[in-house]
Each structure stands twice: as structure tokens, then as C-alpha cells.
Amino acid sequence: MTLPVTIIMIEDDEGHARLIERNIRRSGVNNEIVSFANGTDAMRHLFGADGSGLVQKGNALLILLDLNLPDMTGIDILKQIKENKYLKASPVVVLTTTDDSQEIKRCYELGCNVYITKPVNYENFANAIRQLGLFFSVIQVPPAAS
């Protein structure tokens, strides 16, 4: 990787966050992971205090997003990320328990790059995250500058 990519994980369930992080590490990805347990904090981090997203200018980000958050829906966050000129180039991976086809379709329409359903079967779950790790290691993340 040419640029140090920061992984932003927006996941309200601490257990899930821990499992995801663990499996990402197991796949050999050592990038910094910044996690947020609610949408408000994540939004403040991504868009800054002024909400313009200028704070992330020049940073390479990869966003892991859960759809079911206590304070807002992941769909809203996804929409705002994809509408922001500094952030829209950052890949977004939706990682959630919802396997409703309508929801999946909606996410892709809004510009999500990968949609992963959290399976209860841990083998599959771990496998999916590791695959994602491999994906992270080859993906070219552009800096959020324009």
C-alpha cells in the first residue's frame, strides 16, 4: 500500500467490533482501525465540526459500516458520505445483520462498495472478514482530496 489507509469502523455492538477487528488482524492487515459505537461520533469524525468533511481532505479512508445504529441508520451515513465531495471516493463496506434484499439493493444504489451479511455461523463470519482483509490489502484507496 502506498498510503497508510485508515479503517473507520462504525459498529455499535462492541462484540461485533472486536470480532471484526480480530479477524481483520488475523488476515494480516495492520492498518489503523478507528472504531465508533454510534453514528453521531462517527459523523463528527468524518465530517468535522463544521460538517463539511474538509478535515478528511487528503486522508485515505476505508469505512466499515453497520446499518443498525442506536442514533441513526447506517443508510443515512452512507448517503451523506457518498454525497460529500471529500469522502465519496472512500470505499464503504456495509457489514450488517440485515439480509433483506431490498435493503441490499438500496445500499448498492446509494454507492456502497461491498455488502456483507454477518452470518451467525462463525466460520463463515471469520472467513468473510478475512476475505475482506485480503480485499483491503489489494484495494487501492484514493486519498479524499480533490
- Give the residues lining the site for other proteins (CB under 8 A): 13, 15-16, 19, 22, 68, 97-98, 100, 118-123, 125-126
User: What is the 3-state secondary structure of 17-33?
Assistant: HHHHHHHHHHCCCCCCE
Using an 8 Å Cβ cutoff, are 73 and 79 in contact? no
Cα separations (Å) of 20 from 50, 66, 130, 133? Answer: 30, 11, 9, 10
CB of 118 to other proteins, least distance (A): 5
Cα separation, 100 vs 81, in Å, equals 22
Q: Which is nearer to other proteins, 89 or 126 (CB)?
A: 126
- Which residues partner with 61 through β-bridges? 6
Nearer CB in complex with other proteins: 52/68 = 68
Closest to other proteins by CB, 37 vs 61, is: 37
- Select 22 or 44, whichever has its Cβ closest to other proteins: 22
Q: Are 80 and 47 in contact (CB under 8 A)?
A: yes
Q: Shortest gap between Cβ of 2 and other proteins (angstroms)?
A: 33
Give the shortest CB-63-to-other proteins separation in angstroms.
20
In whole angstroms, how close is the CB of 95 to other proteins at the nearest point? 11
